[in-house]
Amino acid sequence: MATKLQVWKQALIHLELATISTLTDDVEAVNVFGNAWDGTVLECFNSGDWNAFKKSVALSQNNTETASVGWSYVFDYPDDYLRTIAVSNIPRFDDPFGDFVDEGGFLHANTTSIYLRYISDDKVAVVEDWPTMFWRYVALQLAVDTVGKLTNGTTLYQKLEAERDVAWRKAKSIDARNENHKRVSTGSWLRSRLGGYGSLGDNRGGTLVGGQITFDEGDV
């Protein structure tokens, strides 16, 4: 379990700067981190479909707004909505669904029941609930966002960017282990060997994996 202070200390380690004792220490880094913090955290929340911050809900119809042209019903986004992962007309999100549009801060559709899977912002300020690899990724992003203000090193910026990218991949890999039956499309090389089918056997929509990610051949 991390704290905001711990994340800031980790960022200072990456920046090769002296540590702090509190979030109110009278040093430049505290002021710079304070100004950058909210934007950095939101960027990190938006950078992936993090399981720890996912929610799935049935949306409520809005009976006061007028539906956009071509649509019959209007739905409100949740108060803690940050970013859409999936929209469906069935609660299990099993089938592809595209009969909706996002306009004017509302979701418009031609069905009376809409389900939304999304990234919630209700843990943005609750650092203690962040997974370990996620907060370590945030620390590196904070270092990247502030390196120009706190140091003079272009080389350090490039180094931090590379380390940030590695931290993101590690955080996503660990996060993905909590998933089950994740459908991942087969790569182009294997599809050509299979005569154009999506994957081995009858599972033509992709490869079913439990708890880990399988990359396309083209990604290697």
98 shares a domain with 142 = no
Residue 92 has pLDDT above 70, yes or no: yes
Calculate mean pLDDT across residues 23-50: 97
Residues 36 and 8 in one domain: yes
Please check whether residue 135 lies inside any domain of the structure.
Answer: yes
Same domain, 188 and 162: no
Place of tokens 């220490």: 25
How large a percentage of the chain has pLDDT more than 90?
Answer: 75
Q: Tell me: do 29 and 136 sit in the same domain.
A: yes
Q: What is the pLDDT of residue 176?
A: 86
Containing structural domain, residue 12: 4-49+131-176
Mean pLDDT of the chain: 86
Q: What's residue 195's pLDDT?
A: 54
Residue 194 pLDDT exceeds 70: no
Locate 178 and state its tokens.
Answer: 């909590």
Cα 156 to Cα 6, 14, 39, 185, 219: the distances in Å are 21, 9, 21, 37, 28
166: Cβ contacts below 8 Å, ≥ 6 apart: none
Structurally, the chain folds into a number of domains equal to 3
Q: What is the dihedral of CA 4, 56, 94, 89, to 10 degrees?
A: -140
What pLDDT is attached to residue 189?
Answer: 52
Asked whether residue 126 is assigned to any structural domain, the reply reads no
Asked whether residue 73 is assigned to any structural domain, the reply reads yes
Place of tokens 């299979």: 194
Q: Which residues are CB-neighbours of 209 under 8 A, at least 6 positions away?
A: 181, 182, 184
Which of 100, 120, 140 terminates a domain? The answer is 120
Residues 6 or more apart whose Cβ sits within 8 Å of residue 167: 133, 136, 137, 140
